[in-house]
Amino acid sequence: MGRRIVTARMASQGVAVAAAPGVDGYFDRLVKYIPADVVAAYVAVQGVLPGVRAGETPAPTWLTWGLIAVFAAITAVWTYRQTRTPAARAPAATQVITATAGFLVWAFALGGEPFASLGWYGDMPYLGSIVLVVFTLAAATVVPGE
């Protein structure tokens, strides 16, 4: 299964994407929109930052915001590269944007720094989980180019 979402328009134009014979349905799009590989890397980096273990001085807030920005950029570039196919003329812009937004939603749901520095975030720790569920279910309804 290739990473690029195969739409009805692509299939009608005869575009073969990484041996995907048919049009991607809801659950295929769900899997392809979530940048699990980048989220896993972000979680690993968060695990080695100071402040995760008890008694350590936390990492500076600017560093944690910077990591989110860097990983969001990595998500965009990585998704673009993984969805680039010679047969499809246009880049998978919708998929790149949705995957990048998906990473940001996952980072928000995982919480910790830098979100702990936001006063309202501590008052509503459940908000990240709600946003994650709603985004994940809604994102898969987006069909690129249609």
Over residues 120-136, mean pLDDT: 89
Q: What is the pLDDT of residue 102?
A: 96
State pLDDT tens for residues 47-85: 888 765 566 777 888 999 999 999 999 999 999 988 887
pLDDT of 145 above 60: yes
- Whether residue 7 contacts residue 145, with contact meaning beta carbons closer than 8 Å, is answered with yes
Token representation of residue 14: 């005869």
For residue 57, how far is the Cα from the chain centroid? 29
Q: What is the pLDDT of residue 112?
A: 81
* Pairwise pLDDT comparison (88 vs 76), residue with the higher score: 76
* Alpha helices, H only, the chain: 8-12, 26-33, 36-48, 61-83, 93-110, 119-123, 127-139
Q: What is the pLDDT of residue 60?
A: 85
State pLDDT tens for residues 94-109: 899 999 999 999 999 9
Over residues 137-141, mean pLDDT: 93
Report pTM.
0.82
Over residues 112-131, mean pLDDT: 85
* Pairwise pLDDT comparison (137 vs 3), residue with the higher score: 137
